[in-house]
Structure 1
Amino acid sequence: MCPLKPVTHVIFDMDGLLLDTERLYTEATQIIASEYNKVYTWEIKVQCMGMKGAMAAQLIIDSLELPLTVDQYLKKIISQYDSLFPNANILPGAEKLVRHLHKHNIPIAIASGGAQDSFELKTTNHKEFVSLFSHVVLASTDPEVENGKPAPDVFLICAKRFPDSPNPDQCLVFEDAPNGVEAGVKAGMQVVMVPDPRLAQEKTKGSSQVLKSLEDFKPELFGLPTYDD
């Protein structure tokens, strides 16, 4: 672990970090895999987390040897998302942290590997919560994001879009996936990781801090305002 340094801006991943959508992605993918008597394993899922949609689709098709093109797969998976994503819930500690930072005028944003249409579905019941963020960058549909995680593009572009365009080392990233941690580190940012408990410990390397839950985060360790209570 690296020494923790003060930051002025905070960037959040969304899937599996702010919202419990990772279980919904798994459910949707397994429904399709089951059509071909295949199992979407945890090992495959870890590789996909944070990727752009088309890249993740190709990895799943190749790993499970599905007789589908990327376009065919995406059409199938999107129909599953339409029914599942509106059920997404906010994960423990996320709302408290986001509202705390917003209250203290700390600039916050979302940088996700997802797409605009799925983002709208996931946030169906959380519009007010999402409105607290300065902006949202969605790698799969943002024309300025050439490469998805683990490339640093989405985080660098997200930082640039803050009104004061902070340097990367002024930004703290929150992530749950190895691809996202790698992207944040490549961007020159500190990364707090909140991994799935099934994730092997060696997959957390590169992060500045590893937490079991956002409930365990102590803002003052990064020079951010301490919780009032």
Structure 2
Amino acid sequence: MFKKVTHVIFDMDGLLLNTEDLYTIAFQNICKPYGKVFDWSIKINIMGMKPDSAAHHTIEKLSLPVTVSQFAEMLSAQLPSIFSQSKLLPGVEKLVKHLKQHNIPVGICTGSSEKAYMAKTSHLKDFFAMFNPIVLCGDDKEVINGKPHPDGYEVTMKRFQPIPDASEVLVFEDAPNGVEAALAANMQAVMIPHDKVPFEYVKKHAEKATLYLKSMEDFNPELFGLPAF
């Protein structure tokens, strides 16, 4: 059922970091003055998108009287204070360090812009130094289309040296858009959704994913031919 892999790519928000919770706070702060509620029914569809796409979708769904650029400015103003609270999720550091110790190449493919990435990771530099490549789909000119399109994962794969075959790459994702992107890139996908998301919102993609887990702590590397803990 599972194929042996040689390379691993991680999503970042909500997968490595608790930043999906922080994004929720930031989006709610923008929507609340207009009497609008930003909840999981909207959030689940924007996770993993490029920033402008996420803003456009939210504005459209909630009929917010703002432009995408105005939304982006309001979001950007909150980044330094909110994202300084970011922290690693359970099981993440153990797995990434384990893979690095066994010379398994690890990369990141995130919808974040460089500014957002720096705000989230500046206090975790040693951890993020273990990843290469790190593809920031929000700014990267080679990534034409954000998740759920496969562009981001294909670009990340091509930046490994040497370049692996897509079938040899394992992706970790928390979001339906990310799972779609990984599968469209012909990679295997482990889905670990946010623990607060109603299962009805992820059921279809949990069934599509190569493997569904409730926590990174539950991952067994040997299933994919990776070194045992």
Out of 110, 113, 116, the position equivalent to 1:118 is 116
How far apart, CA to CA, are the structure 2 residues paired with 1:23 and 1:124? 18
SS of residue in 2 equivalent to 1:125: helix
Larger displacement relative to structure 2 (95-104 or 75-84): 75-84
Render the CA deviation track for 1:138-192: whole Å, top value 9, x for unaligned. Answer: 1110010000000000000000000111111110000000000000000000000
2:167/2:187 contact within 8 Å kept: yes
1:40 Cα shift? 0.1
Q: Does 1:39 align with 2:37?
A: yes
Q: Which residue of 2 aligns with 1:75?
A: 73
Instruction: Flag structure 2 segments of 5+ consecutive residues without an equivalent.
Output: none
Normalised by the length of structure 1, the TM-score is: 0.97
Q: Which amino acid aligns with 2:178?
A: G
Q: Which amino acid aligns with 1:78?
A: S
How far apart, CA to CA, are the structure 2 residues paired with 1:204 and 1:40? 23
How far apart, CA to CA, are the structure 2 residues paired with 1:69 and 1:149? 22
1:203 Cα shift? 3.4
Normalised by the length of structure 2, the TM-score is: 0.97
How far apart, CA to CA, are the structure 2 residues paired with 1:125 and 1:225? 29
SS of residue in 2 equivalent to 1:7: coil
What is the RMSD computed on CA atoms of the aligned residues?
0.8
SS of residue in 1 equivalent to 2:108: strand
Q: Which residue of 1 aligns with 2:22?
A: 24
Q: Which residue of 1 aligns with 2:223?
A: 221
How far apart, CA to CA, are the structure 1 residues paired with 2:204 and 2:149? 20
Q: Which residue of 1 aligns with 2:94?
A: 96
How far apart, CA to CA, are the structure 2 residues paired with 1:37 and 1:203? 31
How far apart, CA to CA, are the structure 1 residues paired with 2:154 and 2:167? 11
Out of 10, 14, 21, the position equivalent to 1:12 is 10
Render the CA deviation track for 1:123-151: whole Å, top value 9, x for unaligned. Answer: 02110000011220011100100000000
Q: Which residue of 2 aligns with 1:84?
A: 82
SS of residue in 1 equivalent to 2:84: helix
How far apart, CA to CA, are the structure 2 residues paired with 1:202 and 1:188? 18
SS of residue in 1 equivalent to 2:2: coil
2:179/2:205 contact within 8 Å kept: no
Residues matched between the structures, number: 225
How far apart, CA to CA, are the structure 2 residues paired with 1:80 and 1:205? 36
Instruction: Flag structure 1 segments of 5+ consecutive residues without an equivalent.
Output: none
How far apart, CA to CA, are the structure 2 residues paired with 1:220 and 1:13? 21
Q: Which amino acid aligns with 2:114?
A: Q
How far apart, CA to CA, are the structure 2 residues paired with 1:86 and 1:158? 26
Render the CA deviation track for 1:35-90: whole Å, top value 9, x for unaligned. Answer: 10110011100000000000000000011111101001100011112210111000
